[in-house]
């Protein structure tokens, strides 16, 4: 039901003849310094022998310890495929896991609803950055305090990301805490995302019975039954594992249903080293790999080749307090290692990154987000979530942080692009010409040609001289981010739903987002 790409090539080949190549060069010259899906894979914290050891340890864990708390449906399914039920735990024989790996989907496509935004070709070493987090609070710039997040906040974050070019997919940043009814929650999240952006997006479900009606909503937007299955623009997340080594019933039911429907599974398995996983990082990797392989097996038992991101999310605990630490150096390196493990299996990967333990968008947030975002990208993570806007160890979200992180992610992607070394870029003839002539390159044709395609210019980071900075008000980067967020949110109320379709959705589902909140109003005024 989804477009599964089985090709293993990591680098795209040119096709279409001279005209196509000319058009490609022209497009790339139009400020294509960075773009979605650039190739990572240059950073590898694990050696090949390390990967093999982790693999063997994971297989042993699955075969001898297994996974507890499986539902009766999953027990029957798994044992029919060769798993063994041992004292209530599902154990997975090594040969069975190897068969699953041999036949699992290694790539998939998440579509955009508009040619303005890129489709996500997920697999190989292609890198994309996305939001997510499901925070329960919003950071208020003026008061420097947090308040409970709302449905309108989710819509606002979505339409803000709709205009942030270095964020390739939207995942639910905040939870509408005012909606207690679980059915209303699921449908309203889906509606807010549909309304706020035409970029690919990701969502989770509280109730498994809401999946099929939500697909019906997606079909309505695309023009009729079955249209979403043809070009899926959404991946479906959840946490089907409670570490260590137990299934989580509700999210397991969701995983079963999304697999049965052939949807793109985008799970998250998130043990914390020293708390719900061993303190040694290698031990955490062995456990979380076993947990991820178990989920992969269940998906493929249900629907062989159904796409699933190998989404192992090993987290770090600050062992002084037991609290989660998303911005640590350990988190940066273990997430890069998680990407390596996914590539070891030739599976599409989703990992978290760009998290911070800081409560405000400050210097701590900057260095924690920067190091984790860079390493995840250089490792070649296919979809890097949590990558913008999140604060306070994923407890809060900030509109200013979304704008700041977008600026930072542009630079991160420029790092991932690296340096192209060719006869042309080595510039020997140009060096000779300038050295024997004017003595500088500022006005040279090569410099003018490449200034928009070789160099990425930040929109928030200040590069002016101190004197000019003072003359312009001595604003720090948080102030500038606040202004930019306000400017976008004051005017960008996208009309992504046809009015007739919108009316049909509102008649069919309990939509709570007021229409007045979806047009210019008093809530946002450009600074």
**The predicted structure's pLDDT at residue 31:** 54
Q: What is the pTM of this model?
A: 0.92
Say how many CA atoms lie within 13 Å of 423 toward its Cβ.
0
Q: How confident is the model at residue 272 (pLDDT cuts 50, 70, 90)?
A: very high
Angle at the Cα of 119 from the Cα atoms of 294 and 33, rounded to 5 degrees: 115
User: What is the pLDDT averaged over residues 306-313?
Assistant: 97
Q: What is the arithmetic mean of pLDDT over 439-454? A: 94
In this prediction, what percent of the chain has a pLDDT beyond 90? 90
> pLDDT over 70 for what percent of the chain?
94
When pLDDT is averaged across residues 419-448 and rounded to a whole number, the result is: 95
CA Rg, the chain, in Å?
24
**Three-state SS at 64:** helix
The answer to whether 300 and 291 have CB atoms below 8 angstroms apart is no
Residue 18 pLDDT greater than 50, yes or no: no
Tens of pLDDT, residues 147-188: 999 999 999 999 999 999 999 999 999 999 999 999 999 999
* Residue 327 neighbours by CB under 8 Å, 6+ apart: 355, 356, 357, 358, 364, 365, 367, 368, 369, 372
Measured in whole angstroms, the distance separating CA 381 from the mean position of its chain's CA atoms is 9
**439 has a pLDDT exceeding 90:** yes
pLDDT digits (tens, 9 = 90+) for 335-355: 999 999 999 999 999 999 999
Tell me the per-residue pLDDT of 378-400, one tens digit each, with 9 for 90 and over: 999 999 999 899 999 999 999 99
- Span 444-459, mean pLDDT? 93
CATH of domain 108-417: 3.20.20.480
Among 452, 472, 341, 456, CA closest to 407: 456
Domain boundaries, given as residue ranges, for the chain: 108-417
Confidence label for 28 from pLDDT (cuts 50, 70 and 90): very low
**pLDDT of amino acid 527:** 61
Taking the C-alpha atoms of residue 348 and residue 106, their distance in angstroms, rounded to an integer, is 6
Cα–Cα distance, 157 to 176 (Å, whole number): 12
Residue 11 scores a pLDDT above 60: no
Describe the crossing of helices 211-222 and 182-196 by its angle, rounded to 10 degrees. 20
Average pLDDT over residues 55-80: 98
> Strand 234-238 relative to strand 201-203: parallel, antiparallel, unpaired?
parallel
pLDDT(189) > 90 = yes
Cβ contacts of 48 within 8 Å, gap of 6 or more: none
SS3 335: helix
Average pLDDT, the chain: 92
- Between 182-196, 336-350, 439-453, the lowest mean confidence (pLDDT) is in 439-453
Query: What is the C-alpha to C-alpha distance for residues 461 and 366, in angstroms, rounded to an integer?
Result: 12
CA 245, CA 241: separation in Å to the nearest integer?
A: 7
**Beta carbons within 8 Å of 421's beta carbon, 6+ residues apart:** none
Q: Mean per-residue pLDDT for 296-300?
A: 98
pLDDT, position 32: 83
Whether 48 and 146 have beta carbons less than 8 Å apart is answered as no
Give the pLDDT mean for 421-440.
96
| pLDDT of 495 strictly over 90 | no
Residue 441 has pLDDT above 70, yes or no: yes
Per the structure block, which two tokens stand in for 349? 């990967």
pLDDT tens-place string over residues 77-135 = 999 999 999 999 999 999 999 999 999 999 999 999 999 999 999 999 999 999 999 99
């Amino acid at each position: 039901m989804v477009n599964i790409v089985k090709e293993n090539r990591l680098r795209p080949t040119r096709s279409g003849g001279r005209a196509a190549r000319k058009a490609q060069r022209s497009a790339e010259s139009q400020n294509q310094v960075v773009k979605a899906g650039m190739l990572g894979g240059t950073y590898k914290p694990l050696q090949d022998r390390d990967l093999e050891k982790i693999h063997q340890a994971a297989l042993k864990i699955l075969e001898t310890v297994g996974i507890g708390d499986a539902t009766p449906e999953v027990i029957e399914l798994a044992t029919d495929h060769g798993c063994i039920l041992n004292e209530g735990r599902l154990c997975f024989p090594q040969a069975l896991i190897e068969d699953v790996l041999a036949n699992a989907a290694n790539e998939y496509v998440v579509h955009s609803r508009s040619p303005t935004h890129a489709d996500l070709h997920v697999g190989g070493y292609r890198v994309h950055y996305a939001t997510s987090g499901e925070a329960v609070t919003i950071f208020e710039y003026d008061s420097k305090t947090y308040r409970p997040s709302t449905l309108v906040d989710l819509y606002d974050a979505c339409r803000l990301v709709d205009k942030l070019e270095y964020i390739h997919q939207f995942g639910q940043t905040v939870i509408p805490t005012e909606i207690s009814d679980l059915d209303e929650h699921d449908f309203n999240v889906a509606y807010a995302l549909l309304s706020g952006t035409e970029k690919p997006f990701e969502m989770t479900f509280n109730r498994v019975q809401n999946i099929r009606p939500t697909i019906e909503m997606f079909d309505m937007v695309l023009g009729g039954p079955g249209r979403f299955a043809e070009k899926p623009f959404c991946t479906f997340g959840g946490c089907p594992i409670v570490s260590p080594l137990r299934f989580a019933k509700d999210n397991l039911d969701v995983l079963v249903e999304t697999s049965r429907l052939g949807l793109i599974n985008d799970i998250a398995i998130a043990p914390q080293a020293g708390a719900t996983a061993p303190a040694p990082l290698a031990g955490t990797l062995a456990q979380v790999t076993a947990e991820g392989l178990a989920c992969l097996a269940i998906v493929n038992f249900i629907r062989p080749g159904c796409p699933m991101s190998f989404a192992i999310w090993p987290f770090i605990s600050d062992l002084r307090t037991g609290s989660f630490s998303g911005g640590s150096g350990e988190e940066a390196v273990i997430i890069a290692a998680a990407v390596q493990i996914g590539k070891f299996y030739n599976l599409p990967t989703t990992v978290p990154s760009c998290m911070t333990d800081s409560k405000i968008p400050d210097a701590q947030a900057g260095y924690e987000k920067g190091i984790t975002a860079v390493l995840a990208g250089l490792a070649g993570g296919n979809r890097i979530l949590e990558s913008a806007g999140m604060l306070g160890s994923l407890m809060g979200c900030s509109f200013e942080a979304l704008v700041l992180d977008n600026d930072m992610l542009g630079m991160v992607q420029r790092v991932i692009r690296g340096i192209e070394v060719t006869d042309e870029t080595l510039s020997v003839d140009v060096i000779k010409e300038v050295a024997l002539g004017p003595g500088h390159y500022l006005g040279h044709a090569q410099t003018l040609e490449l200034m928009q395609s070789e160099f990425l210019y930040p929109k928030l980071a200040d590069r002016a001289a101190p004197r000019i900075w003072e003359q312009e008000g001595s604003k720090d980067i948080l102030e500038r981010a606040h202004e930019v967020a306000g400017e976008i949110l004051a005017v960008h109320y996208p009309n992504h739903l046809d009015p007739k379709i919108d009316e049909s959705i509102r008649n069919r589902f309990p939509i709570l987002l007021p229409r007045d909140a979806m047009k210019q109003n008093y809530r946002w005024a450009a600074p």
